[in-house]
Amino acid sequence: MDVIQVEDLGKTYPRGTVALRDVTFRVARGEVFCLLGRNGAGKTTLLRILATQLKPSTGKATVFGHDVVHEAKAIRARISVVPQEARPQMMLSAYDHILLMGLIRGMSRSDAKARTKEIMEEFELWEHKDKLTADLSGGLRQRVMISIAFMMSPELLFLDEPTIGLDPLGRRQVWAMIRRMTKQGVTVLLTTHYMDEADKLADRLAIVDRGRMVFLGGVDEAKAVGGNGMRVIIEPIARNDGTREILSPKSNEEIVEIVQRGLDQGRRVTFQPPTLEDAFIQIVGGSIDEENS
Amino acid sequence: MKRIREALYIGLFDSLPLLRDPMLLIVLSMFSFLPVMFIYLFAGAGDTFNASLVGAIVLSLAFVGLFSAQSVYFNKHWFRFQDIFVASPVSPISYAIGLSVSTLIVSLPAVILAMALLLIGVPRPIWDILAVVAVSAILWIATLMIGFAIGASTKNTRRANSLPQVLGIVLGFLPPVYYPLERLPGFLQPIALLVPTTHAAELSKYYFGLATIPDWEIVFGWLYLIAFTAVMGLIVVRRAHWVDP
């Protein structure tokens, strides 16, 4: 069953900025769906519309079958959000934040306390429980914000660049948490600039550029956009002995031809699997070319 | 009941940082009591001093109402807690009441102290005290509305910080809040009557028996405060959005 359905969604801000144009996609239950795009591409606008924080201008979007504009109340009880650049109150502790959010959202005091402890232990925040967030590192602060979102065990989680500022271990903790949640049937929609994050987490992804969806599909499909996706590197065996060529063959015949040429020249030939970053640059670059033409 | 609980916890969430570091509470109390201290030094304990205590109540409430602009702004644009609350079952009314209650917590020490000193100096019947509480409540709501309108309209941190301070001076120190209306030159008195804090101070002084004002001015004062609050309320409804347009 689809948790999110978006059809021809568009958004023009009151001052005339067009942020989204005719976006259509679906997200299934338990899926991790990544929105990729450059700064200002429209990712956050799209996420905010689906999280019922922003009104769309055209088209239709439903979450759990409920319209995001007219039935927002039914959606809000089942979602949680980590907004972009959200930050905790410096004079409150991590424990205060998580506990109070539970209480505000209607948990009983005893349930809120128990859940706060559980979440803080899972995120390795318990040892910092009494410290003011002013005394925590940037990564720990971000973990506090993510813990707030996990507090209510949502069915759908919106994460807007959730691992910005986290160290590599902190990022992996968040990824592990997201994977654990999706195993329990939680759906995740996240925006990110980190291609490795999308590569590791996404079941499917959409690339948004200048408000348009320029790619929709799986990670491997994205990587295969530039042909078979394989890169062949021909380089001298000794350093500083000639130039280095990076080639993207379009067919198996072309691969054989390149390899033969490299070996004939006595150079080293290596294969590099395609990366999501290459695909992203190729797709977004293509869309820039289309805009300019 | 659920909504009241929601609002109180939001109020606690917003005010807890201040309660943990009560310097601002002390600064706010000192701010509104500074003129009181000078008046006590120069005029001694008497009606002028008591009237200045009324000024301290009015200014404390006006100040915290205006400073709700910072709560609204920072929760929306800096901490982004408003976005978290929007995407949750929290109601916008609970959120607004929560932020308002938080300002009340900040102003209570100064208001209670001034009220206690006044009641010691000029004991009054309960109806007069209730009238002063009602006037104070309307003024607080009016300035809250101004604060909410500023906080919801501005996207600039500096403006969210400076506007309430400027308005605090315009509403608190310039008009006859700490001093009698008659002290102003005749041509300035009608202008002072355009400022809601003038009416709040005049009415409070009247109910404490510290000023004599004509009946029409009493009625006009109440009507002006209520109308001003209603107009500010309409502006807030137009400017503040729970779901962004």
Strands (E) located in A149-202: 156-160, 187-192
Question: Is the predicted pLDDT of residue A293 greater than 70, yes or no?
Answer: no
A105/B89 touch (CB, cutoff 8 Å), yes or no: yes
A246 C-beta neighbours (distance < 10 Å), count: 10
C-alpha distances in Å from residue B121, one per residue of A44, B55, B58: 59, 15, 18
**pLDDT band at A245, cuts 50/70/90?**
confident
Q: Check: CB of residue B135 under 8 Å from CB of residue B203.
A: yes
Map residue A89 onto helix, strand or coil. coil
CA angle B104/B106/B107 to nearest 5° reads: 65
Residue B93 confidence (pLDDT): 95
**Which residues, listed in sequence order, are joined to residue A208 by a DSSP beta bridge?**
A37, A213
Rounded to 10 deg, the angle between the A138-150 and A94-104 helix axes is: 20
More confident residue, B43 or A13: A13
Average pLDDT value for residue range B84-108 = 93
B13/A104 touch (CB, cutoff 8 Å), yes or no: yes
Domain identity same for A146 and A261: no
Domain presence at residue B99? yes
Domain presence at residue A269? yes
The CATH number of the domain holding residue A34 is 3.40.50.300
More confident residue, A288 or B166: B166
Cα dihedral sign for A256, A262, A264, A267?
negative
Domain identity same for A91 and A203: yes
Domain presence at residue B70? yes
Domain presence at residue B203? yes
Average pLDDT value for residue range B31-47 = 80
- Sheet of A32-37, strand order: A79-82, A156-160, A187-192, A32-37, A204-209, A212-217
Domain identity same for A237 and A191: no
For residue A288, what are the contacts with CB-CB under 8 A and spacing of at least 6? A209
Average pLDDT value for residue range A125-153 = 90
Average pLDDT value for residue range A131-154 = 90
With pLDDT > 90 as the criterion, what percentage of chain A qualifies?
57
Provide the whole-model pTM: 0.86
**Which residues, listed in sequence order, are joined to residue A32 by a DSSP beta bridge?**
A188
Domain identity same for A216 and A237: no
Half-sphere exposure of A268 (CA within 13 A, CB side): 12
Question: Is the predicted pLDDT of residue B21 greater than 90, yes or no?
Answer: no
Which residue of B21, B83, B245 is in closest CB contact with A83? Answer: B83
Which residue of B21, B80, B243 is in closest CB contact with A91? Answer: B21
Domain presence at residue B130? yes
Residue A139 confidence (pLDDT): 81
Domain identity same for A34 and A167: yes
Domain identity same for A53 and A114: yes
Report the candidate in A83, A50, A49 with the shortest Cα–Cα distance to residue B75.
Answer: A83
Run of H or E residues at A80: strand A79-82
**Do the strands A32-37 and A187-192 form a parallel or antiparallel pair, or are they unpaired?**
parallel
- Sheet of A231-235, strand order: A245-247, A231-235, A268-272
Average pLDDT value for residue range B23-29 = 75
Nearest chain B residue (CA) to A82: B84
For residue A88, what are the contacts with CB-CB under 8 A and spacing of at least 6? A94, A97, A133, A141, A144, A145, B79
Domain presence at residue A291? no
Residue A183 confidence (pLDDT): 87
Average pLDDT value for residue range A142-146 = 90
More confident residue, B30 or A216: A216
Task: Pick the range with the lowest mean pLDDT from A24-38, A98-112, A204-218, B172-186.
Answer: B172-186
End position of a domain, from candidates A223, A250, A284? A223
Domain presence at residue A159? yes
Residue A120 confidence (pLDDT): 94
Domain identity same for A213 and A111: yes
**Which residues, listed in sequence order, are joined to residue A158 by a DSSP beta bridge?**
A81, A189
Task: Pick the range with the lowest mean pLDDT from A64-73, A84-93, B49-58, B222-231.
Answer: B49-58
Cα dihedral sign for A168, A148, A55, A186?
positive
A55/B243 touch (CB, cutoff 8 Å), yes or no: yes
Domain identity same for A149 and A261: no
Question: Is the predicted pLDDT of residue B180 greater than 80, yes or no?
Answer: yes
With pLDDT > 90 as the criterion, what percentage of chain B qualifies?
49
User: Which residues of B are less than 8 Å from A104 in CB distance?
Assistant: 6, 9-10, 13, 85, 88, 90
Residue A290 confidence (pLDDT): 53
Provide the domain count of chain A: 2
C-alpha distances in Å from residue A242, one per residue of A96, A236, A247: 62, 6, 16
Nearest chain B residue (CA) to A87: B79
Please tell me the distance in Å from A168's CA to the nearest CA on chain B: 24
Domain identity same for A187 and A137: yes
Judge whether A183 is closer than 8 Å to chain B, CB to CB.
no
Identify the domain containing residue B151 by its residue range. 2-239
pLDDT digits (tens, 9 = 90+) for B193-233: 999 999 999 999 999 888 888 999 999 999 999 999 999 99
* DSSP state letter for A59: E
Report the candidate in A225, A257, A208, A236 with the shortest Cα–Cα distance to residue A49.
Answer: A208
Domain presence at residue A36? yes
User: Which residues of B are less than 8 Å from A83 in CB distance?
Assistant: 80, 83-84
Residue B87 confidence (pLDDT): 95
**pLDDT band at A1, cuts 50/70/90?**
confident
User: Which residues of A are less than 8 Å from B10 in CB distance?
Assistant: 104
Domain presence at residue B244? no
Domain presence at residue A132? yes
Domain presence at residue B245? no
For residue B10, what are the contacts with CB-CB under 8 A and spacing of at least 6? A104, B85, B90, B94, B95, B97, B98, B99, B101, B102
Average pLDDT value for residue range B120-134 = 89
User: Which residues of B are less than 8 Å from A103 in CB distance?
Assistant: 5, 9
Map residue B58 onto helix, strand or coil. helix
Which residue of A55, A91, A158 is in closest CB contact with B17? Answer: A91
Domain identity same for A219 and A250: no
Average pLDDT value for residue range A24-48 = 94
Q: What is the mean pLDDT of chain A?
A: 89
Domain identity same for A140 and A234: no
Map residue A66 onto helix, strand or coil. strand
Half-sphere exposure of B144 (CA within 13 A, CB side): 21
Residue A240 confidence (pLDDT): 64
pLDDT digits (tens, 9 = 90+) for B43-62: 777 778 888 888 888 888 88
**pLDDT band at A252, cuts 50/70/90?**
confident
Domain presence at residue B196? yes
**pLDDT band at B108, cuts 50/70/90?**
confident
Residue A229 confidence (pLDDT): 64
Please identify among residues 218-257 of chain A the ones whose CB lies closer than 8 Å to any CB of chain B.
Answer: none
pLDDT digits (tens, 9 = 90+) for B150-163: 999 988 888 888 99
Provide the domain count of chain B: 1
pLDDT digits (tens, 9 = 90+) for A201-231: 999 999 999 999 999 999 888 887 765 567 7
Domain presence at residue A44? yes
ipTM of the complex: 0.85
Given the structure tokens 């009494």, which residue do they identify?
A: A130
Half-sphere exposure of A144 (CA within 13 A, CB side): 34
Residue A230 confidence (pLDDT): 74
Task: Pick the range with the lowest mean pLDDT from A91-100, A185-194, A280-289.
Answer: A280-289
Domain identity same for A156 and A269: no
Give the number of A-B residue pairs with CB atoms closer than 8 Å: 93
Identify the domain containing residue A111 by its residue range. 2-223
Which residue of B10, B86, B90 is in closest CB contact with A53? Answer: B86
For residues A206-242, one letter each, b for 16 or more C-beta atoms within 10 angstroms of the residue's C-beta and e for the rest, the string is bbbbbbbbbbbeebeebbebbeebbbbbbbeeeeeee
CA distance A244 to B182: 89
Residue A173 confidence (pLDDT): 81
